Chains A and B, each alone.
Chain A
Amino acid sequence: MATYSSYKQIINDNISSGAVGNSALAWNARPKQTQLWIFNNRGLCCNACSNFGCAEQANGCCCLWTVPTGATRVVFELWSGGGGGAGAICCNYCMFAIGGMGGNYAMKAIQTAPGCQYTVCAGGAWPCTQSHTCNASMGCVSYINGYNLSNFCVVGGCGGFMCDGDAWGLYCMDSGCANCNICGFFGSDFGIMGSGGFHMGHGGCHCSGADGNVTGAAPFIGKMDITSTTESWCNCGCFVNWPAGGGVTGSSSYCGNHAKQCAGGIGQGGSGIVRITYA
């Protein structure tokens, strides 16, 4: 039996179609749409700095997200970790170095339900401070698992290169369909790959001067890193291209001097981020 309070309640049938117009809404009464960012907090706080340890700066961030009450729609956006910067281990070679590629991007919009849980991971990056490895590692994958998603992920950006890398330059830029020849994203509505890193050409001694080194950038973030030396025996550092940018590879330009072998990777890729928009 209806109570007095239930009698007073307004149900949907009591509101005529389109009755609540803009004039009825208060100025700040806006549709309730909320955004949530997931990332390694150290990456945010320090951004380019890794003074207190590259390893921590390179970490990603994973968590469990529960759909709040009332939310039925969600848009997930992923950026993977950027590729690492490489360093030389060889000597007596000119180093045609290439920076790491930018992280890849993908988005997916789905219907969901309150209480659904999603495993959300913003991928990390390779902790490559002053690396001497020739080939740097890729950034880490970012992904989300849960209801109405299937293999939704973005692969990390391809690592940089610095080792006997053909001082004459590259003859053909033919990197297949993706960085590191693997597809950049899966299970998404839309996606864009990060751009590639590269090295500037120069004349004269091929090791000397204008040794500019360029990283890739992540889509919609666009942080490209460049370093350049005219004559350098060793260029090492740990500079982080956060978020999702490619790491800078080492620079060693002094002709005829074996000290060039010391050049380590200058930077590491930025860890990935995730944005969740729900309503």
Chain B
Amino acid sequence: MASYGSYKTVRSDQFQAGSVQTTNLQLGAGVGNCALLIFNNRGMCCNACAAFGCTEQANGCCCAWVVPANVSCATFEIWSGGGGGAGMICCNYCGFSWGGAGGNYAVKTIPVCPGWTYTVCAGGSWPCNQSHTCGASMGCVSYVNGCNLSNFCANGGCGGYMCDGDAWGGPSGYHHMGCANCGVMGFCGADFGAMGTVGTRMGQSMCRCNGVTNFSGQAPFIGKLGITGSSETWCTCACWVNWPAGGGNSGISSYCGDHAKQCAGGMGMGGSGIVKITMS
């Protein structure tokens, strides 16, 4: 039998459609959305610095995220790791180098239920402290797996390049590599996505080894560009991190006719990726 309390209780079917308006809400009423960021804490604490080891700075971060109570909608935004910076292994060549591409971005909004578990990974980057490898490695993929998602991921930014790179310019077709950096699609399973920009190098007249400027790529919506330049230098090496999700700078070696240019190592590495979850 109905009690007096249950008699007074307002049920869903007693609300006329559209009856609750903004003016009926208090400030803060209905605001259940909050954001959660997942990233390598070392990346954030040190940002550009890799003084205590590039490897740790290059790590990503993975975890399981459980949908909290009362949450019915989640928006996942992922930025992949940026591409690494390359360095020379060759000698007697002009090193037409360019920096790594910025990490790629993707977003997906889905309905969720409390208690569902998602595997969330913010991709790392290539630990390329003063690398001498010609081709640098791509950044690592960032992804989220779980119910209502299908292959949702952002591939890492393409690595930089510095090796017998054609003093007249880079290998042909670098900026015509199809639909993505490194010739692979930048993101999958998303509602929307944007690829990171690619690194490049300024052209140069006179001796083509002399005077160089090296640009890294940037991640969408973050916009941190790494730039290095020198007029004449035998060797430029460092380990500087473009965090988060930015491309690493390749080495610079610009002195014409001096074999010491072979020593130039990668100047920087890509920043590891980040993931943002907005729930409501």
Contact = CB atoms under 8 A, between A and B. Distances in A.
Interface in B20-70: 20-22, 24-35, 37, 39, 44, 46-49, 51
B207 interface: yes
Contact of B19 (A14, A24, A109): A24
Nearest to A15: B10
Contacts of B26: 32, 70
Interface stretch (B154-162, B182-190, B232-240): B232-240
Contacts of B28: 31-33, 70-73, 278-279
A213 to B, nearest CB: 10
A214 B228 CA distance: 10
A108 B254 CA distance: 44
How large, as a class, is the contact surface on chain A? 35 or more
A259 interface: no
B27 A175 contact: no
A177 B47 contact: yes
B82 interface: no
A75 B34 CA distance: 10
Interface stretch (A131-139, A145-153, A197-205, A267-275): A197-205
Interface stretch (A35-43, A78-86, A120-128, A218-226): A218-226
Nearest to B5: A13
B34 A109 contact: yes
Given A176-B51, A210-B211, A221 B223 contact: yes
Given A31-B30, A201-B230, A177 B225 contact: no
B236 A172 contact: yes
Contacts of B240: 173-175
A28 interface: yes
B205 interface: yes
Given A24-B19, A173-B228, A16 B222 contact: no
A94 B231 CA distance: 11
B238 A169 contact: no
B11 interface: yes
Nearest to A25: B20
Contacts of B243: 192-193
B249 interface: yes
Contacts of A69: 27
Interface string B249-266: 100101000000000000
> How extensive is the interface on chain B, given as a class?
35 or more
B213 A31 contact: no
Nearest to B18: A26
B113 interface: no
Interface stretch (A46-54, A183-191, A235-243): A183-191
Given A31-B30, A175-B48, A219-B223, A206 B20 contact: no
B86 interface: no
Given A16-B12, A184-B47, A279-B28, A171 B211 contact: no
Given A30-B22, A178-B48, A191-B44, A173 B233 contact: no
3 tightest CB-CB pairs across the interface, nearest first?
Answer: A222-B223, A169-B230, A177-B49
25 contacts: A14-B8, A16-B12, A18-B12, A20-B15, A23-B18, A26-B18, A26-B22, A29-B21, A32-B25, A96-B231, A173-B240, A174-B238, A174-B239, A175-B240, A191-B44, A192-B244, A195-B226, A195-B246, A201-B202, A201-B211, A201-B231, A204-B206, A220-B223, A222-B218, A279-B31
